[in-house]
Amino acid sequence: MSNSSSPQHRESFLPFSPPNITDKEIEEVIDTLQSSWITTGPKTREFERVFADYIGTSEALALNSCTAGLHIALAALGIGPGDEVITTPMTFCSSVNVIEHVGAKPVLVDIDPETLTIDPALVEQAITPRTCVILPVHYAGHPAELDPLIDLAARHSLYLIEDAAHALPAAYRGRRIGSIGHFTAFSFYATKNLTTAEGGMLTGSHPAFDMARVLSLHGMSRDAWNRYSAEGSWYYEVIAPGFKYNMTDIQAALGVAQLSRLGKMQARRLEIVEKYHAEFSKIDALQVPVVQPHVEHAWHLYVLRLNLDALLINRAQFIEELTARNIGSSVHFIPVHLHPYYRDKYGWKPDNFPVTYHEYQRVVSLPLNSVMTDEDVTDVIEAVKDIVITHRR
């Protein structure tokens, strides 16, 4: 689509979400590389400790991904064939893939149209005698409505496993996400608010957490650090068929440095969000993200929604126009029930989850990261405004 009407464009492409890496992270990694330990060891244990303290929880297990955390949480709780796990279609596929991995059945329910998180009323309707787990996703960094989910879990003897891939540092009614459910899994992927390049963290206080720790490294009774350190022993036992999900000290070194800077990085994200809100809330062709008063939004994503009735272009064309103006963007997410594997296995149709399907067709994630300059933010705002003006119905 032509963008010839646009008066000016950026000379260079603005990436959607580059990492914020400083000398502090580099120094921590060099310190680890110059030590005698680069895989799971003392730096990983330090990262687990400071992360648990930050969240306000008793246990934290550093892993190679959020997906690993969700998987071993289900496995540690003994979830398997014949069991059902209720979750949302408005998520990345990994949230549902892990349910398949343990042999359980994913049961999808639609989302709240305001927050785009799972609708608790629909969760209650979906509970059956086979239901074992409720797995909410804190979409874009906005916490799901946890109070009714906690109540449902208690009344029906269900587990609550939170997908907090977007939710550091989010809070719900004054409590940090990660200190509430039976298990919570975080992501430290390269685009996240805190990154270890690849990585994740599992937190929780359930008695099965000890088994999750065992499952994270081959099901061994003692980990590599204990076996190969001066204080360790060569002897170990495999007590379960576990996985290779451990984090390395090189990754943890990044995490320790990033966590010490998270407050400053988050403050910059909030400045950008406020500028976006101020400009986009005045445009009737756009809907800005909601923030409810009882939550602290992590602002991992800034998900703008297009009021398509006011525009002559669709979401795909809107993104093409952004790209033509050298602005990176993305879509979060292609709903789970639209992917061929799940569509074909469970016979799901697009309109089985009408709110999710409707919102999916109009969401655009704009650049939001702590390395953006004021000029970058202005470029995004001007590009969006120019597209709306050019293609208003």
Please provide the size of the chain in residues. Answer: 393
First to last CA, the chain: 16
282 is catalytic: no
To which CATH superfamily is domain 263-390 assigned? Aspartate Aminotransferase, domain 1 (3.90.1150.10)
The residue type found at 51 is: F
The answer to whether residues 132 and 85 touch, using CB atoms and an 8 Å cutoff, is: yes
- Bridge pairing between strands 183-187 and 159-164: parallel
CA separation for the pair 87, 101 (Å, rounded): 15
What contacts 121, CB < 8 A, 6 or more positions away? 148
pLDDT reported for residue 224: 55
Q: Summarize pLDDT for 95-132 with one digit per residue, the tens.
A: 999 999 999 999 999 999 999 999 999 999 999 999 99
CA separation for the pair 195, 288 (Å, rounded): 26
The pTM is what?
0.96
Under the banding of pLDDT at 50, 70 and 90, the label for residue 393 is very high
Top CATH class of 23-258 equals alpha beta
The answer to whether residues 146 and 136 touch, using CB atoms and an 8 Å cutoff, is: yes
In the sheet with 131-134, reading across from the earlier edge strand, the strands are 59-63, 200-204, 183-187, 159-164, 131-134, 84-87, 105-108
pLDDT reported for residue 3: 43
pLDDT reported for residue 223: 64
Reading the block at residue 73, the tokens are: 């949480």
The answer to whether residues 281 and 76 touch, using CB atoms and an 8 Å cutoff, is: no
Q: Of 192, 244, 264, 345, which is the active-site residue?
A: 192
Backbone torsions φ then ψ of 186, nearest 5 degrees = -110, 155
Q: Summarize pLDDT for 10-63 with one digit per residue, the tens.
A: 999 999 999 999 999 999 999 999 998 999 999 999 999 999 999 999 999 999
Burial class (CB in 10 A: 0-12, 13-18, 19+), 303: buried
Token look-up 């929604």 returns 305
Please determine, for residue 1, whether its predicted confidence score (pLDDT) is greater than 50. no
| Run of H or E residues at 313 | none
What contacts 70, CB < 8 A, 6 or more positions away? 94, 95, 98, 135, 161, 163, 185
The answer to whether residues 365 and 331 touch, using CB atoms and an 8 Å cutoff, is: yes
Reading the block at residue 44, the tokens are: 């990983």
Average pLDDT over residues 235-244: 92
| Residues forming a β-bridge with 200 | 63, 187
Radius of gyration of the chain (CA): 22
Task: Name the residue ranges covered by the structural domains of the chain.
Answer: 23-258, 263-390
